[in-house]
């Protein structure tokens, strides 16, 4: 009954504007309803939030639409001329269609988020040996947060177990046998590129320190709900070699895999290569933040770009080729999705 009264009052309120020709404006300029400045759109979004917070089932919406037509059509027929009554019904139908977009779609999104969260926390509960009460308490918190904000935030511990499970389930990765030793660094609070570079350097220190290679993952902030793209690394790895294309011969000096990216950086004036180019010039790290048109380009200090010479125990001449590679393949352009639909 609450949801019926909300919507009936809302739709009748806007239909009433037909008396002073505002209805004609709604029909004629229907596209304006979707504009950010539209007062109708703002009211629809407000009602959407009310629906979510009151946890009104989305199936109620179509039933209310039928009841609205049955309720208001006779009133239109009695109060207005046939032409005006028809226009009133057209406006009612159109605004109801817009309301579906702004009310039902957020409810569907909320439902999908909660379904995926349920699957994720079932895995977390199993891996961390939660009892049923711990699982239910966490799901209650998630449900409440999603109802209020449209999303939810995982704890650092949940990020850690989620990252490890992602690695364990990556069937193409030969190193996943060590999934349970993965060190996960939660750095979602870092939004400044300079701070991010400090974390990248720390990542490389941890991954290459000591006599054993340590598997490390550094997690930066997720994509926000209002962003088309989140934070992105245009660099495929923290340490990669440039590839220079000879325009005359087509031959490539350096890493062919990075030839197009190298050309893009140079042509876009984002990076200038050394005066004397070599096959092992280290590319900069390129970070693109959502609200900045120009990406941040940072050269890592050479001391943190750990490299190893390539050699073979049975063929010593391999070392004479002077080939080298990054000591740790720190991949930077992967997106980790946990608790969301892939």
Percent of the chain residues past pLDDT 90, beyond the cut: 41
**Average pLDDT estimate for 150-178:** 89
Task: Convert the pLDDT of each residue in 198-227 to its tens digit.
Answer: 999 999 989 887 656 788 999 999 888 777
**Average pLDDT estimate for 251-274:** 95
Which of the 8 DSSP states describes residue 225?
Answer: T
56: pLDDT strictly greater than 70: no
Tell me, yes or no, whether 253 lies in a domain.
no
How much is the mean pLDDT over the chain?
81
Query: pLDDT band for position 46 (50/70/90)?
Result: confident
Tell me, yes or no, whether 16 lies in a domain.
yes
Tell me, yes or no, whether 248 lies in a domain.
no
Task: Convert the pLDDT of each residue in 280-319 to its tens digit.
Answer: 999 999 999 988 888 999 998 888 888 889 999 999 999 9
Q: DSSP string covering 26-54, please?
A: HHHTGGGGGSTT-HHHHHHHHHHHHHHHH
Tell me, yes or no, whether 84 lies in a domain.
yes
Query: pLDDT band for position 16 (50/70/90)?
Result: very low
Q: Which of 303, 261, 307 is nearest to 284 (CA)?
A: 261
Q: How far is CA 83 from CA 30, 77, 79, 87, 90, in A?
A: 19, 10, 11, 6, 11
Tell me, yes or no, whether 72 lies in a domain.
yes
Instruction: Tell me if 341 sits within 8 A of 112, measured CB to CB.
Output: yes
Domain count across the chain: 1
Q: How far is CA 178 from CA 125, 165, 170, 174, in A?
A: 21, 11, 12, 9
* Domain of residue 17, residue span: 2-114
Tell me, yes or no, whether 337 lies in a domain.
no
Q: Where does 129-275 have alpha helices with state H?
A: 132-149, 156-168, 193-208, 259-267
Least confident of 62-71, 80-89, 106-115: 62-71
Radius of gyration of the chain (CA): 29
Residue identified by tokens 């030793």 is: 181
173: pLDDT strictly greater than 50: yes
Tell me, yes or no, whether 262 lies in a domain.
no
Task: Convert the pLDDT of each residue in 61-80 to its tens digit.
Answer: 666 666 666 776 777 777 77
Tell me, yes or no, whether 271 lies in a domain.
no
Instruction: Tell me if 221 sits within 8 A of 230, measured CB to CB.
Output: yes
């Amino acid at each position: 009954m609450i949801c019926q009264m909300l919507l009936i009052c809302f739709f009748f309120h806007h239909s009433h504007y037909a008396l002073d020709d505002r209805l004609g404006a709604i029909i004629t300029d229907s596209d304006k309803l979707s504009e950010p400045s539209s007062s109708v759109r703002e009211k629809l979004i407000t009602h959407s939030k009310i629906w979510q917070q009151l946890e009104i089932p989305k199936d109620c919406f179509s039933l209310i639409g039928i009841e609205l037509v049955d309720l208001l059509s006779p009133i239109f027929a009695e109060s207005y001329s046939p032409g005006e009554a028809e226009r009133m019904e057209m406006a009612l139908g159109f605004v109801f269609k817009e309301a579906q977009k702004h009310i039902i779609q957020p409810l569907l999104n909320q439902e999908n988020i909660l379904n995926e969260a349920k699957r994720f926390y079932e895995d977390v509960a199993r891996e961390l040996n939660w009892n049923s009460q711990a699982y239910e308490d966490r799901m209650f918190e998630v449900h409440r947060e999603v109802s209020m904000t449209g999303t939810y935030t995982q704890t650092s511990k949940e990020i850690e177990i989620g990252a490890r499970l992602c690695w364990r389930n990556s069937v193409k990765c030969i190193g996943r046998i060590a999934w349970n030793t993965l060190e996960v660094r939660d750095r979602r609070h870092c939004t400044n590129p300079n701070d991010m570079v400090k974390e990248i350097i720390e990542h490389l220190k941890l991954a290459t320190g000591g006599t054993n290679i340590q598997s490390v993952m550094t997690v930066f902030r997720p994509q926000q709900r209002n962003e088309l793209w989140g934070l992105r690394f245009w660099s495929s790895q923290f340490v990669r070699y440039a590839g220079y294309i000879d325009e005359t011969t087509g031959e490539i000096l350096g890493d062919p895999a990075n030839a197009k990216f190298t050309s893009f950086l140079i042509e876009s004036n984002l990076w200038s290569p050394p005066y004397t180019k070599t096959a092992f010039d280290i590319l900069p790290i390129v970070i693109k933040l959502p609200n900045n048109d120009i990406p941040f380009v940072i050269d890592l200090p050479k001391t943190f770009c750990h490299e190893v010479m390539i050699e073979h125990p049975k063929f010593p001449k391999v070392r004479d080729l002077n080939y080298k590679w990054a000591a740790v393949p720190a991949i930077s352009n992967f997106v980790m999705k946990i608790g969301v639909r892939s």
